A and B are shown apart, each in its own frame.
Chain A
Amino acid sequence: MVKRHLTPRLALAGVTLVIVLLVSFTAIVLASAIGGRAPGRLLLLPMAPLPFYLFALWTARTAIVRIGHGDALRVLVSPMLRRIGWALFLGGLTQVFVVPWLGHLNGGRTLAHYDIGAITLGAVGVTLVIVARLVRDAEADRAELDQIV
């Protein structure tokens, strides 16, 4: 009898909850912005990185589901890290440069925003992309070594 591990289920529940909360909050803000109320429109611009972060969360969730279904971990890890890494990097880039630039087009005064969190996320994203490549190369080496008896 296969023992079912609690950790993947908890991780899946946690990630799903975060996604649901983010999407719900975004829907509320969008509805407010479409309704023409000023606070809604003001909140819309800083949410520009959200699609990237949601993609990162969704990728993590998908990987957890596939692991739960028994897919090989070593096949999933590298693509997952690469996708999450790029998503975090682009989200951070958007937060630091794109959002202020868009604000600048709407009368704002800055072209970049010193956001420590976003910069850190971007740096972590780049690191994950690099690690993904290392994992992929290590897996290729391992596959080659497996062919030596």
Chain B
Amino acid sequence: MPITVTLDQLLADRGMTGKQLAETIDLSETQLSLFRSGKVKGIRFSTLERMCEVLACQPGDLLGFEPGAA
């Protein structure tokens, strides 16, 4: 999929685990794991907002675009 998720790098930079982030933004670990691996069909703005608030980042820091990727 051309849209890629770059959350892993951001979590590493912030010294936070996926579990901690999931708990903070009220998302299940399963859902966050699916998001991290790019296996979701979309993300709600409200979820994106909570992530950016907790990680102190912009939405563009969480997502990337690789044209031509499968």
Contact = CB atoms under 8 A, between A and B. Distances in A.
User: Looking at A144, A147, A149, which has the most chain B CB atoms within 10 Å of its CB?
Assistant: A149
Interface residues of B, number: 11
Interface string A112-147: 000000000000000000000000000000001001
Contacts, number: 20
- The bracket for how many chain A residues form the interface is under 10
A148 B34 CA distance: 10
8 contacts: A144-B41, A147-B42, A148-B41, A149-B31, A149-B32, A149-B42, A149-B43, A149-B47
B62 to A, nearest CB: 12
Interface in B24-51: 27, 31-32, 34-35, 40-44, 47
Contacts of B47: 149
B20 to A, nearest CB: 17
A148 B44 CA distance: 7
User: Looking at B32, B41, B43, which has the most chain A CB atoms within 10 Å of its CB?
Assistant: B41
Nearest to B27: A149
Contacts of B27: 149
Given A147-B34, A148-B43, A149-B32, 11 more contacts: A144-B41, A147-B42, A148-B40, A148-B44, A149-B27, A149-B31, A149-B35, A149-B42, A149-B43, A149-B44, A149-B47
